[in-house]
Homo-oligomer: A and B are copies of this chain.
Amino acid sequence: MRFIPNNEPARKAMLAEMGLPDIEALFAGVPSEVRLQRPLQVPPGMAEEEQLQLFSQLAARNEAQQVVSFLGAGSYPHYAPLVIDSLIQRAEFFTAYTPYQPEISQGTLQAIFEFQTFMTHLTGLDIANASVYDGASATAEAVLMADRLARGRSRVLLTQALHPHYRRVVDTHTHYLDVQRDTVPADPATGRMDVAALERLLDEDVACVVVQQPNVYGVIEDLAAIAAPVKRAGALLIVTVSEALSLALLEAPGALGADIVCGEAQSFGVPVAYGGPYLGFMATRDEHKRQLPGRIAGETVDADGQRGYVLTLATREQHIRRERATSNICTNENLVMLSALIYLTTLGRAGLLQVARQNVSLLAYLRERIAALPGYAAAFSGPSFNELAVRCPRPAAEVVQGCLRRGVLPGLDLGRWDAGRADTLLLAVTETKTRAHLDALVNALREVAA
């Protein structure tokens, strides 16, 4: 096989040197009764050219590229400068393992340290890790972390306006723990968290409150208003973010009282790619650092006093602490973290602001056009960044089908998640869209309504 250097003569020579008749002799330790007695039913190896053809056909069977899509809901198409893909294809980045040997891994380690710094600035918190699997698992990890920090408290309040996949993943992770999960309703008019309801639900037994910002309906929460009662109850405030670009314009959650800010950083130049690989992020206050899961790099010096970086706080990790670790995570999303870091570095201060402002302007344009469309209306009055829930004159499922026939995927039919919202469409607008795209959407919506 062409990937395997040692060919027949080499293998023979090695066996001869070892005094063995054949490779089979090396498998003497595998009891014959558990040996597979037939060849694997896997087709014979394909030629590279054939595989390129096959995968091109498979890719073409996706009609993803034929429609103008306004899907967001946790995965946002943003333009990724080409430098990212060029750099992450350096073998020194993409083939390397976790940087356990710092002397020969400073590239990865410095990148981690820079990413941590970016995330602390963006979230307004003191420390950050260098990725967990994705936004949902970051949220679940944050809840588990809060559970450890608030020993004795056994309730977790989660916003109703949490991405249902995030909620589902939190449920999976906490199902067998001694944790009671309650939901804080959203105000049906504004789409924001019902703070009065929150206050009612809060008590001394609440370990943490999970809020999404902007929330799953695209509505920007009033974090300060939420943080106040949470603090009063002595609970931890977890803010989860699925559209990380919003951090460029919205006040840092850490500055508004969040204790843990987590979420999905896919927006930082990572392709939507049918759902992964993405990267979850987590940041928190300095005093919680020993409960933060995931890889963390720290600054130190080498034997000559030169600055360098190492993985640190290893006593949190499973390879040292085993079952008492802060998390079971080992392999994380390092290369995706690197992509995001390159994205952040390439856009930088000015670029991030510019992209974020473009998103805002594009959505504002669309919001206005949709408001003027007979039968359609913003589902909530709360402010939005680049995502909007739209109430439709017909079931959203039909609107989606009708628009698709016009080459537009107008967003997500929220009925897929919540039968009570079968008339609502959730759409996202990023800088990948032009006025022509928006106008096409508006036209399609108009025609479908008629």
Contact = CB atoms under 8 A, between A and B. Distances in A.
Interface of A: 48-49, 79, 81-82, 86, 89-90, 432
B81 A48 contact: yes
A181 to B, nearest CB: 43
B89 A49 contact: no
A82 B48 CA distance: 8
Given A48-B81, A86-B89, A89-B89, 5 more contacts: A48-B79, A48-B82, A49-B79, A49-B432, A90-B90
A81 B86 CA distance: 19
8 contacts: A48-B79, A48-B81, A48-B82, A49-B79, A49-B432, A86-B89, A89-B89, A90-B90
A59 to B, nearest CB: 15
A175 to B, nearest CB: 44
A86 B49 CA distance: 16
Contacts of A48: 79, 81-82
A123 to B, nearest CB: 27
User: Which 6 pairs of residues, A with B, have the shortest CB-CB distance?
Assistant: A49-B79, A48-B81, A48-B82, A89-B89, A86-B89, A90-B90
Contacts of A90: 90
Contacts of A79: 48-49
Contacts of A49: 79, 432
A49 B82 CA distance: 9
Nearest to A49: B79
A287 to B, nearest CB: 38
